[in-house]
Amino acid sequence: MLIELSLDFLRAEMERVKAHPASFPIFERKSRIILLKIYGVSAPGANVLKQEMLSLGGDAVVHKNAVDCKVSESDVILLGTRKHYEALVKKMEAADYFGLTRVRKELKDFLERRKAEYIDSPWGRRISFERTLVMGIINVTPDSFYTGSRKQDLKEILEAASHMVECGADIIDVGGLSTRPGSEPVAEEEELARVVPAVKAIRESFPRIPISVDTYRAEVARKALQAGADIINDISGLMFDENLVRVAAEFRAPLVLMHIKGTPKDMQKDPHYDDVVREIAEYFLERMEFAEAAGVDPAKIILDPGIGFGKQYRHNLEILARLEEFKSLKKPLLIGASRKTFIGKALGDAPPEERLEGTLAVTALCVMKGVDIVRVHDVKENRRVIDVLEAVKCQGRS
């Protein structure tokens, strides 16, 4: 009998074979083909990479005219295992020509970087990424796109928070400014009046639950952190308020950097991308560099590709289909897709109130692809989906 094994169960199967435990990491390094794309390599450099990978037992995809240098440069797709790439980095140590120094540095950085296993808030509350976390949404607004998330007074807010905690929320996200497509911002004073009392009330009633504040304004973030919030969740990726990065650095607060094209008011007016994954990844790299230069702790950055924020239907689907590519940036990944328009479209134009099952399907996909946080309206249902799938995933780690 011959069967193809699941990579998730390789270690368990090696134990059944009774291989020596010291050999497990060696075989695991050889077991999985990792596809890496490097952009803008000179044609001679692309040819060198292909030949070196072939000599190591791997391969590389290059432009059809790179071999005779009829093009000046080529993107390169490398096909190899971790073992191949470690050997390639070593062979390229003296390759300071054809732009290969940059390639070696990027490849070495990819191999050495590790995603944070946990992040601590300014107040010592720990957010651990051992499994997919549930971030429950409380909108202290009268106009968020899903009416079920709107909570106006403190009694409603505390009831919603209590229900979320009971149902297994890991984080509660409080927002006082609707960012639905076409929305206009409210005054900062109004946002403060909505958010700060809500954060204080939740913190007093639930001292252990991490609280995220969904804002792009520096003063709102500052006052919310002082009231007991733990995380800044910025839909603008530090683009809308230049002072917000200083607040994040000063408090050493975990920071969610989200991708957006345009503003909430105009973001859905025919957004265009030549390569949506590449453009979002480049945005993340630039925004992370900006944040780190201003003093933000790089180990506390979380990335959100911004489902529905300046994306057409097909863009949202492609982002979800290619989540692994964002994970290659080695930062915790947050996905906020709950009850959004693209789910309604996939379900035949279902309204927000009828998008729960579609949301759960996206959550299941995120769990299986190793997303770290899902931001959702319906904590109980999403928690149950996650718990079942995490139990299945644990079988490969036992």
Strands (E) across the chain are located at 34-42, 59-61, 73-80, 118-120, 126-128, 133-139, 171-175, 211-214, 231-234, 255-258, 301-304, 334-335, 373-376
Give me the half-sphere count of Cα atoms (radius 13 Å) on the Cβ side of residue 8. 11
Tokens of 225: 């952190």
Dist. CA 327–CA 336, nearest whole Å: 15
β-partners of residue 8 are: none
Neighbour-count burial of 123, counting CB atoms closer than 10 A to its CB (0-12 exposed, 13-18 middle, 19+ buried): middle
The active-site residue out of 11, 151, 355, 375 is 375
Give yes or no: 261 in active site. Answer: no
375 assigned to active site: yes
How far apart (Å, rounded) are the C-alpha atoms in residues 385 and 371? 14
Q: How far apart are CA 217 and CA 220, in angstroms?
A: 5
**Quick one: which of 100, 125, 110 has its CA closest to 41?**
100
219 by DSSP, 3-state: which?
helix
Spell 256-294 as b/e; 16+ CB within 10 A means b. Answer: bbbbbbebbeebbeebebeebbeebbebbeebbeebeee
Tell me which of 125, 223, 331, 340 is the catalytic residue: 340
Which token pair is 88?
């390639």
Structure tokens at 219: 């003063």
Q: Which amino acid is at 53?
A: M
Q: How far apart are CA 155 and CA 163, in angstroms?
A: 12
Active site residues: 340, 375
